[in-house]
A and B are shown apart, each in its own frame.
Chain A
């Protein structure tokens, strides 16, 4: 199956700093990538959908200026949490989907644990 990686797997940062999380599709070209957030003991919540080369589409209630998403290539999307605060501490998970001739299913990365002090 398709492999999706995330980096870093965990990060601790101070309040007010920005954190960048990378999501890579390792063996396929991902025309669409999805970013999810999961708080403890809760389910995954979709934050945004990004298509390569275009602006991300954010779900209702997700601040686009706080969670910057860049999908500049077919194998890489980044999520930057700007001016992070303790309430942003969460498990961030990306998934990727291939385009024509590729996969129509979503394949998930292993997640990134963000802790904001």
Chain B
């Protein structure tokens, strides 16, 4: 799976949009971009994933550049409860591998949402 690079930490004011970048310049054509987050002392939580089109769900939006070498996770209105470590992971679609391929977690971005 391709390696990702994320800033170690970011701050965001409550109510504002949080934009978390991720670089994945070695991504392959069949690899998806996944985002998970981990609130302190909890298990990771799936947020969103995409291949090349922008994606949106109830939690966030995912913007993937046209060359797919980078992406941005957007939390449109960050709250204090969004304070967490956000992990960007690139992996082959588990539907193609029967879901058996690993999730490799990097160091992620510690997002701190403040009043």
Taking Cβ atoms with an 8 Å cutoff, the residues of A that contact B are: 1, 4, 6, 32, 34, 36, 43-46, 49, 91, 93, 95, 97-99, 103-111, 113
Contact = CB atoms under 8 A, between A and B. Distances in A.
B44 A93 contact: yes
A32 B100 contact: yes
B29 interface: no
Given A43-B107, A43-B108, A97-B94, A106 B41 contact: no
A104 B44 CA distance: 16
B44 A108 contact: yes
Chain B binding site: helix, strand, loop or mixed by DSSP? loop
A111 B100 contact: no
Interface string B89-111: 00000110011101111111000
Between B38, B42, B43, B108, the greatest number of chain A beta carbons within 10 A of the residue's beta carbon is seen for B43
Contacts, number: 56
Between B44, B45, B46, the greatest number of chain A beta carbons within 10 A of the residue's beta carbon is seen for B44
Interface string B30-51: 0000000010011111100000
Contacts of A43: 87, 105-108
Given A91-B41, A111-B42, A104 B103 contact: no
Contacts of B107: 43
A107 B34 CA distance: 13
A1 B46 contact: yes
